[in-house]
Structure 1
Amino acid sequence: MSNQALLEVIALDARDAVAARAGGADRLELVTDMAADGLTPARETFAAIRAAVDIPLRVMLRRTDGFAAGPVDLLVAQARALRAEGAQEFVLGFLNPDGSPDLAAVEAVVAELDGCPWTFHRALDRAADRDQARKALAELPGLDTYLTAGSAAGVDAGLAVLAAEAARQGEPGYGARILVGGGLTLHHLPALREAGIDAFHIGGAARPSGWGAPVSAAAVAEWRSALG
């Protein structure tokens, strides 16, 4: 990456993707069903978005609302189908009922990804012990990013945690990039940039008219401008 901060935008379809790219998004997170906080999109949706834009796409691997993996064989099958369609980057994250990472599920899916880069998403913000979770996941192949707000309650509540974790970058368990998302607003950017954080994720902020409307290229451009 250059010195320019990374801006990742949630896209539900090709129209979203085109608008996000026009506004200056560097990467897209592809999901469906935001009522369930983002599930795996259809293979056909991925193919349509891939045909519409030329920027990196990270595809969600998640079958149900919440952070339980559900049937792992179905997750693996979805990963296999998406890779066959050309997907090269992914987003996933599963927890056990006690709040520890579900390493069996994560490892099974990651094995199917065969080295593809992936983000461990906001399951980290629901982990019983963030430090333990990071260290448990650290050696998994392809893990290069944590999508996190620093708190299950969102960035407002998580700013101190995000700054503290950014200060630990490079320590065991802290090698992956911090991608901040979850209640993120433009007002948070100065403090986060000051902490050394350089990657940002927006969903609703790219849709001033709500999730029933498409991504606004102008809204994305405002974030691009703020980030430089």
Structure 2
Amino acid sequence: MLLEVIALDAADAAAAQAGGADRLEVVSDIAADGLSPSRETLAAIREACDLPLRVMLRRQAGFLPGDLDALRAAAVELDAVMGERDGFVLGFLDAGGEVDLDATLAVAGAVPSRRWTFHRAVDHAASYARAWETIGGLPGLDQVLTAGSAAGVGEGLGALAAHARPGLAMAGGGLRPEHVPALVDMGVRAFHIGGMARPGWDRPVEAELVRRWRGTVDAGALGVA
């Protein structure tokens, strides 16, 4: 069972590690659902903890890619301060809501040695099922962050059960403890939290909140032991 926590800075990273997180998603501007961090922030987080990191490659709110050259340059710049076990988070849609495969592969291809997570763009696609068909088997992809619905896991459990690939799916986006048993029954073994690790979106990560989630996820593991 993998527990990933959103971190905005070094203090978040240290608290998440103290609470038992397995990995961090490193972003800036959480109000925009996460944009790329600065090189300086990433370096500080890398110094503050020894957890694997997944670093966001996204320069604007929404899931249109925007300036691909700037995204590729950001990938190279951030890669220079990342550790061996670190990877990226990316994933784009076109104006029609289809997976923008060309843009996604162009950005991932800027750092071909890195593993990466496909972001929640899949939940905002015109067809959730078609998005999964499109992204399956992409080079370097080892996880898909998904709630099954743009409205969150509570609304998306049916779509997750029908279309998500258990070995790739990481549940996140409105995830609550009561969702974990059903997700485990579906074969999901990775969980992502942001606001649930904080007493408020504008507050830092608290180790005790992460610790509670560690217990929730571990309890789910007992059901499949």
Coarse TM-score class (shorter-chain normalised): over 0.9
* Cα offset, 1:138, TM superposition: 2.4
Among 164, 175, 178, which residue is 2:169 paired with?
178
Which residue number in structure 2 is paired with residue 190 of structure 1? Answer: 181
- 1:1-228 alignment, distance < 5 Å: 5-86=1-82, 88-166=86-164, 169=166, 177-208=168-199, 210-228=200-218
Normalising by structure 1, what TM-score?
A: 0.91
**1:36 & 1:128 partners in 2: Cα distance?**
21
AA partner of residue 55 (structure 1): L
**1:118 & 1:51 partners in 2: Cα distance?**
21
SS across alignment from 1:9? strand
**1:100 & 1:225 partners in 2: Cα distance?**
37
Q: Is the 8 A contact 2:75 2:111 kept in 1?
A: yes
> What is the RMSD of the two structures over their aligned residues, measured on CA atoms?
1.3
Q: Is the 8 A contact 1:115 1:141 kept in 2?
A: no
Task: Please list the CA deviations of residues 151-182 of structure 1 after superposition, one character each: whole Å capped at 9, or x if unmatched.
Answer: 1111111011112235x55xxxxxx5110001
In structure 2, relative to structure 1, the CA distance for the partners of 1:215 and 1:124 (3 Å cut) is same
Task: Please list the CA deviations of residues 6-51 of structure 1 after superposition, one character each: whole Å capped at 9, or x if unmatched.
Answer: 0000000000000000000000000000111110000011100111
AA partner of residue 10 (structure 2): A
Normalising by structure 2, what TM-score?
A: 0.92
**Aligned length, in residue pairs:** 216
Q: Is the 8 A contact 1:80 1:112 kept in 2?
A: yes
**2:210 & 2:135 partners in 1: Cα distance?**
32
Name segments (4+ residues, structure 1) moved above 3 Å: none
Q: Is the 8 A contact 1:179 1:199 kept in 2?
A: yes
* Cα offset, 1:136, TM superposition: 2.2
* Cα offset, 1:139, TM superposition: 3.3
* Cα offset, 1:102, TM superposition: 1.0
Deviates more, 1:191-200 or 1:179-188: 191-200
AA partner of residue 127 (structure 1): A
* Cα offset, 1:113, TM superposition: 1.6
* Cα offset, 1:105, TM superposition: 1.0
* Cα offset, 1:192, TM superposition: 1.1
Deviates more, 1:143-152 or 1:78-87: 78-87
**1:227 & 1:163 partners in 2: Cα distance?**
19
* Cα offset, 1:142, TM superposition: 0.6
**2:89 & 2:144 partners in 1: Cα distance?**
9
* Cα offset, 1:133, TM superposition: 2.0
SS across alignment from 2:109? helix
**2:102 & 2:183 partners in 1: Cα distance?**
33
Unaligned 5+ runs, structure 1? 170-175
**1:139 & 1:165 partners in 2: Cα distance?**
15
**2:98 & 2:206 partners in 1: Cα distance?**
37
